[in-house]
Structure 1
């Protein structure tokens, strides 16, 4: 079969297309024919090395894939050939709290991922795709959407009329917007692009802030909330935005620390963490149970993922290059030509 591998830590140029054997599923696994997969910022970092628990070379990249079950292991129940499935980001985290073994089961980093004609999934960490979603749409859910669900619902205990701050218009933030609106919350979203902010408004964003026009965007958040602040912020920036985010969260609110888009440095602690009794919660995707909860809620509300652009499998490296430009709104998808 065709597969892509990250072979060194030299960046996107380290990705090579290779021919390898089709894998054989173990007793508790399923073999899936890839129909579509999607990229996350993590996937670019993995090509550069230095990402925690993701330094295996060579590795088939990407965590997010959707496809059709081709064969099942001898002990598998609940899946049969022809089923449409996605796999959880962590193939060793079914439910409850994660342990070290689970953390070392991240697809496309700790173990082989989905950027191949066929891939292997653990049956108990796989989820059937709702009928209303295409393969391309379903392929966007395991990382970004589950991360947003974990932060907003599992940790943030989202309630109607909560106010949520979303930084940027990448995958996690746009899924966060869609989930928050479906569950009755108010939303504030930032971007450097007025065009992207207009698109966010069409998805239901209540307030938008251009952070180039308003570099002190945390002050704008406080104005919008009449000085009260937000209940939860999906903090995808890291060190470059953490202090601003912390300063506009209301007392007893949550900073969901998700991303490192501004760099790998650790954020400095903000005094507002103490003075406003904030909860700073690290969010690293989620469990299979969370993915199941997410897909059920999306189906109930008929939420469609926002796909920015789609590339064919043969142009997978071009998809990486597009992602690296950070011009996307929502998700970047790679589809099989079959």
Structure 2
């Protein structure tokens, strides 16, 4: 079968399409899945480009959607023919984060082989069913970006109708957060460097728009738009370059969900501002299997669908990452066979 692997044998890491060994039939507690689609995330990009270390020859990509081909003994959640999507932390079943999710050692496409392949055999907890009627590319957006947004606003944020949410940019997490926030009855302020993209998020329901290129002190603009109060929730994807504006924009007692490091790894934060506003600044990486099931139930109830910018073939994975790096996409980038 085919697989796309990380190749660090040369000075510049490469993505190589290879013939790899078929995983065979599932054992007790396992299922065999024919993978049909994946979606790309910044984490996948960092692994594929050698920025985050992984094993040479690692099969890439964390997200994968497909069809169950076989089930092992004692499998109770799935039957042959079920449409499923992978989980990011297959050993984190429910509840608070555990030591086993302190790094990526059990995450597909990083600590273990990923979903950029034709077939996988994994434990029952490595997949959940997908929303009814969804396409495979749509389903592949759930694992990382969609579930991260859900945890940021619902599991951790306990978002309520009438609260105000600030989203940054128009990547997969931010668009998912916008859709979740509007479904919950929240007021949403969106930022982007592109007026064209801001028009698109307005069409998706964003209530106020800020171009951070023409308004670099956008935290002050958020305060103006909220009559000096600030927002209840910030879905913070930028990191060092954006965190201080986010601290300006958030209300006293508000919540910042730190989910991204798009601008780097280290930030200088004004502690007095953090203390004065009594802000809950919470870092998070995706969520548990149980949270994924709850998110999928919510997607079915609201009939919400993800926004997909472009679909590449798996053989074009390197080009898909180049496209992602340019930052012109709106929503998710997916790959299919």
Are positions 1:227 and 2:221 aligned together? Answer: no
The aligned residue for residue 70 of structure 2 is: 71
Unaligned runs of 5+ in 1: none
TM-aligned CA distance change 1:10 to 1:298, over 3 Å: farther
2:19 equivalent in structure 1: 19
Counterpart check, 1:3 vs 2:3:
yes
- The alignment status of 1:274 with 2:275, answered yes or no, reads yes
Which whole-Å CA distance do the structure 2 matches of 1:317 and 1:106 have between them? Answer: 21
> Shift in Å at residue 328 of structure 1?
0.7
CA distance in 1, matches of 2:244, 2:215: 16
The Cα RMSD (Å) is 1.6
For residues 42-80 of structure 1, give each alpha carbon's deviation from its aligned partner in whole angstroms, at most 9, with x where no partner exists. 1111124453xx532221111111000111222211211
Q: How does 1:252-331 map to 2 (within 5 A)?
A: 252-331=253-332
Q: 1:121 to 1:201 in 2, by over 3 A?
A: farther
- For residues 212-223 of structure 1, the aligned pairs below 5 Å read 212-223=213-224
**Are positions 1:182 and 2:187 aligned together?**
no
* CA deviation map 1:269-319 (0-9, x unaligned): 543211010011011000111111111111111101000000112212211
> How far apart, CA to CA, are the structure 2 residues paired with 1:195 and 1:282?
30
Give the count of matched residue pairs: 334
Which moved further from structure 2: 66-75 or 166-175?
Answer: 66-75
| Matches of 1:305 and 1:5, distance apart in 2 | 27
**1:12/1:317 contact within 8 Å kept:** no
Structure 2 unmatched ranges of 5 or more: none
Out of 274-283 and 28-37, give the one that drifted further.
28-37
How many angstroms does 1:125 deviate by?
3.8
| Contact preservation (8 Å) 2:71, 2:79 | yes
CA distance in 2: counterparts of 1:197 and 1:10, whole angstroms? 41
- Contact 1:237 1:259 survives alignment (8 Å): yes
TM superposition score normalised by structure 2: 0.95
Residues 50 and 227 (structure 1), Cα distance of their counterparts in 2 relative to 1, 3 Å cut: same
Could you list the per-position Cα deviations for residues 174-233 of structure 1 after superposition, in whole angstroms to 9, with x for gaps in the alignment? 000000000100101100111110110111000111011111111111111111000110
> In 1, distance between residues paired with 2:126 and 2:315?
28
Write the distance in 1 (CA, Å) between the matches of 2:244 and 2:277: 13
C-alpha separation between the residues in 2 aligned to 1:196 and 1:239?
Answer: 23
In structure 2, what is the equivalent of residue 59 of structure 1? 58
* In structure 2, C-alpha distance between the alignment counterparts of 1:182 and 1:296, rounded to whole Å: 13
SS of residue paired to 2:64:
strand
Structure 2 CA distance, aligned partners of 1:115 and 1:196? 29
Q: CA deviation at 1:9?
A: 9.1
Map 1:164-179 → 2, pairs under 5 A = 164-179=165-180
Aligned mates of 1:166, 1:75 — CA distance in 2? 43
Return closer, same or farther for 1:207/1:33 CA change in 2, 3 Å cut-off: same
**Could you tell me whether the CA contact under 8 Å between 1:61 and 1:114 is conserved in 2?**
yes
TM-score (norm 1): 0.95
Mean Cα deviation higher: 246-255 or 258-267: 258-267
